[in-house]
Amino acid sequence: MNAGALDAWQIPILVTAVIVLVEAGFNLILRFRGARPPSPRVRTVGFGILVVLTVVVFVAALGPTRADQLSSVAAAVAAVVALWLTYRSYNTTVKKPGKPADEPEDQENREHG
């Protein structure tokens, strides 16, 4: 165990503790303000701070090498999802709405009509 370094099992405990402390702080602020809910901007900023704190603690606990490997895997997964979504989007624009793609047009109606 290194002095000053975080172990993997400590991350959930620290993140949970920070979330509990932030929630307690917000509850005190709400009681002081008369129980009015905070504005959307305050909620968005609070959520952003929690996200940044979680990412920083997570990356610090992993170390630079593991964080780099994890980001490579995440980029590969994002590329596969983007490819699948592009394929689905292409298929929906190629098919005509209201008509199945494998249904042939009725030749008799065009010849007699």
Q: Provide the b/e sequence for 55-76 (b: ≥16 CB within 10 Å).
A: eebbeebbeeeeeeeeeeeeee
Q: CB-based contacts of 11: which residues, under 8 Å, 6+ apart?
A: 57, 58, 61
Residue 80 predicted with pLDDT over 80: yes
- Which tokens in the block code for residue 15? 């993140």
Higher pLDDT, 44 or 34: 44
Q: How far apart are CA 58 and CA 43, in angstroms?
A: 22
Average pLDDT, the chain: 75
Confidence of residue 8 (pLDDT cuts 50, 70, 90): confident
- Which tokens in the block code for residue 88? 């689905």
